[in-house]
Amino acid sequence: MTSIRAIKGFKDILPGETELFARSIGEATDIVEKEMYTFTDRSGDLLTMRPEATAAVVRAYLQHKIYAQDPIQKYYTIGPMFRRERPQKGRYRQFYQINAEIFGVASPYADVQLIVMLVELLGRLGVTDAKPHVNSLGCPACRPDYRRALLDFLASREARLCPDCLRRRETNPLRILDCKVPRCRETSLEAPELAAFLCPECRTHFDTLQQALDELGIAYVIDKRLVRGLDYYSRTTFEIQTTALGAQSAVAGGGRYDGLVKTLGGPDIPATGFAIGFDRLAEIVAAERQIEPAVPKVFIAALGAEAQARAFPWLTALNRRGIAAEMLFEDKSLKSLMKRAGKLGARHVLIIGENELAADTGQLRNMATREQTPLALERVVEELQQRFRETV
């Protein structure tokens, strides 16, 4: 097996190779079969725009032999992903994900930690209807029995399956359980349940996961349709669903991929992780609460070139200190500068024109009360900082 390395000239933050994704996501998945943006670059190398992050993180973990220092590693990544899907609300061809991965921990508590992180994040963002859906996929020891039982069940129902599912029977039969075509859904409702086929180790893993969630008071749904069809996915799989986005109900998804590190040529190291859809998250948050646009605390109305030259360093200094300040670098009348400040919703306007420069004293106007206070220009940044600290 050839070892897969980062693309020449790419820092490990943005890796990705076709073979890597085919091997790690699986040849028989929608992503690899239909959705990858793959092209030959000018030097003839075959490249793929990454459709997900996990494969790339595992590749880096292996290439740099990080496991040799300490197999237990926790990573996060944030960035754009690319899939040639049919675009609709909540589904884009370029979208962003926040990923988290835990390597080297086989315990179900690591899965629970990830679910808790997601619930916590969504809670803090004010998303009230997000619910974890969980399932267990078993492991290479028990899943083949289930696969056989599923195929036996489907054998007499071929006529009811969509063309994709007929194909999936050969390549990836578990995926039939999450097919969205209504007839396939109806058919698979009566299918045998994976839970009944779990080996004792997988059963214990799943029970412990549920007990831990119960203990933490996290409500969840056991969802037998939550599947991934590839052998290196094992045991826990989960999704966080909301009703806020219509058909695209999943805001995050994840689970255990204990076999992937080995599949990509590394040692037998368990791993678990999740991906949040950043775009969906933003849409849900926007739907659930009004987000006020940021308004400047102070607008600097500097009249003329000399005043602008004097005031520009203040603008930079205020911004550096975390005070939202704005300024217009144009020769405008006081009236139009005030209009601009009003449009931005600035709370205060610092006025400096010829007179103020001569007196070394600016005027700070409170836009709400229209009160004006003189401000010594020498100490303008410190003064403003002090004032705004008091009024935060």
Comparing C-alpha atoms, which of 363, 307, 356, 362 is closest to residue 330? 307
Establish if 91 lies at the interface with ligand AMP (CB under 6 A).
Answer: yes
- Which among 28, 30, 19 is positioned nearest to 86, based on CA atoms? 30
312 binds ligand AMP (CB under 6 A): no
**For residue 127, what are the contacts with CB-CB under 8 A and spacing of at least 6?**
242, 244, 251, 284, 285, 288
Q: Decide: is 273 part of the binding site for ligand AMP (CB under 6 A).
A: no
Among the candidate windows 88-96, 100-108, 219-227, 325-333, which touches ligand AMP by CB under 6 A?
A: 88-96
Least distance in Å: CB of 237 to ligand AMP? 10
Does 225 help bind ligand AMP (rule: CB under 6 A)?
no
97 binding ligand AMP? (CB under 6 A)? yes
State the DSSP string of 12-69. Answer: TTS---HHHHHHHH-TTSHIIIII--EEE-TTS-EEE--S-SHHHHHHHHHHTTHHHH
For the chain, give the longest Cα–Cα distance: 93
How far apart are CB 181 and ligand AMP at their closest, in Å? Answer: 18
Query: Dihedrals φ, ψ of 81, to 5°?
Result: -125, 160
If we measure between CA atoms, which residue out of 138, 261, 128 comes closest to residue 202? 138
Residue whose beta carbon is closest to ligand AMP: 277
Q: Which residues pair with 148 in a beta bridge?
A: none
* Contact between 255 and ligand AMP per CB under 6 A: no
Using the rule CB under 6 A, give the single segment among 248-256, 288-296, 298-306, 359-367 that binds ligand AMP.
248-256
Binding of ligand AMP by 52 (CB under 6 A): yes
280 binding ligand AMP? (CB under 6 A): yes
With binding defined as CB under 6 A, does residue 250 bind ligand AMP? yes
DSSP three-state, residue 296: coil
Strands 348-352 and 298-302, by their bridges, are parallel
48 is a contact residue toward ligand AMP (CB under 6 A): no
Residue in 252, 300, 302, 384 binding ligand AMP, rule: CB under 6 A: 252
Segment lying near ligand AMP (by CB under 6 A), choices 70-78, 84-92, 306-314, 315-323: 84-92
Look up residue 44 and give its amino acid.
G
- The correct pick among 92, 153, 220, 312 for binding ligand AMP (CB under 6 A) is 92
Q: Is 317 exposed, middle or buried (0-12, 13-18, 19+ CB in 10 A)?
A: middle
37 forms part of the interface with ligand AMP (CB under 6 A): no
The answer to whether residue 251 forms part of the interface with ligand AMP (CB under 6 A) is yes
Using CB under 6 A, which of the segments 188-196, 209-217, 245-253, 365-373 binds ligand AMP? 245-253
User: What is the CB neighbour count within 10 angstroms for residue 319?
Assistant: 13
Residues that bind ligand AMP (CB under 6 A): 52, 83, 85, 90-92, 95, 97, 250-253, 275, 277, 279-280
